[in-house]
Amino acid sequence: MRFDFIKCHGSGNDFPLIDARAIDLDDATWGGVARALADRAGPVGGDGLLLLTRGDDRHAFGMRMFNADGSEAETCLNGLRCVARAGFEALGIEAASVKLMRSSAEVARDAALASGVYTVRETVGPAEIDTAGWPLRIDRATTIEQVVAPLSSEMAFTAVAMPNPHFVAFVDTIDEATLVALGEKCEAAPDWLPHRANVSFAQVIDSATLFVRTFERGVGLTDSCGSAMAASVVAAGLTGRIAFGTEIAVLNAGGLVRGRAGDDLIVRLSGNTTFEWRGSAEVDAGRSRAGGLTIAGHCDDEIAAWAALADSILQRR
């Protein structure tokens, strides 16, 4: 099968994006396509695969996201912005309701983060703090800055679903080796966490700035995870570190988003959706391999605009 796609990223979280509104494949095949196109050793690479899908009576269009390991995620907020832009351009609109796996989101074109940076605002939630549906099999229904004994006997976590599950720990310094070890413990799908979860370390830089580093379920250590940044904004409010209603700059290894959570746990994120290049590739979904890459064109102005913003972010840390 040959697929046309856009290589894009939201805050450094990069994906091939396929307009799949007229493509009908089963989940197993899409999982194979994701493994092929997202393979970092292959011709494309990415943190996963994004699909722009058909809408319905309530939604202008839909989104699906497959992780690099072929598993499907409930949502991906960095990816949602990219799909939103593709949907806007396909339909000639600038705001929409989007159908997700188990929920909906509102998206709209927003004021640019910087000159030349296409920016989308996404509204999701409310975030869920009852972990029964994860399921998280420990002896309490909610976890707000508490030890999760099977995960760590020392660190305190806040558990938030966006609706994909996240553990957020606030730390003074980010130890990536520890983060990876905890992420891999969740990735193993133990009996107490059979559907796995994302793990983030968050630093409070000041009263309106966070830095977040994430081990993403199905991906591993990633430069950016939109739902993790949303979960961290909620966790900052739940733990009293940053007041609900505050607009927060959420920095990450890939860039930043603007975030705000209300005490109703509705979250608004505004961030980039940068199209880098357009191309096509042959995919053997059964063998999870891609080849025959053809690049139709690069988006040099967008790449340069994002690079300038990213450089300025590095100076803030």
| 8 is an active site residue | no
Q: Give 122's contacts (C-beta < 8 A, 6+ positions apart).
A: 77, 80, 81, 84, 105, 106, 107, 268, 269, 270
How far apart, in Å, do the first and last CA atoms of the chain sit? 44
The CATH number of domain 131-271, selected from 1.10.3720.10, 3.10.310.10, 3.30.930.10, 3.40.190.10: 3.10.310.10
CATH 3.40.50.720 fits 2-120+272-314, yes or no: no
Express each pLDDT in 153-166 by its tens digit.
999 999 999 989 99
Confidence of residue 112 (pLDDT cuts 50, 70, 90): very high
Mean pLDDT, all residues of the chain: 94
| pLDDT exceeds cutoff 70 at 310 | yes
What is residue 223's predicted lDDT score, i.e. its pLDDT? 85
Q: What is the pLDDT of residue 218?
A: 82
pLDDT at residue 308 is higher than 60: yes
Q: How confident is the model at residue 111 (pLDDT cuts 50, 70, 90)?
A: very high
Q: What is the mean pLDDT of residues 270-298?
A: 96
Q: How much is the pLDDT for 103? A: 83
Domain boundaries, the chain: 2-120+272-314, 131-271
pLDDT at 10 over 80: yes
Instruction: Tell me the mean pLDDT in the region 49-54.
Output: 98
Of the listed 8, 76, 82, 186, which one is catalytic? 76
Q: How does pLDDT run across 215-268, given as a tens digit for each residue?
A: 999 889 988 888 999 999 999 999 999 999 999 999 988 788 999 999 999 999
The position carrying tokens 């139709």 is 296
Q: What is the pTM of this model?
A: 0.86
Annotated active-site residue 76? The verdict is yes
Which one from 8, 82, 186, 225 is the annotated catalytic residue?
A: 225
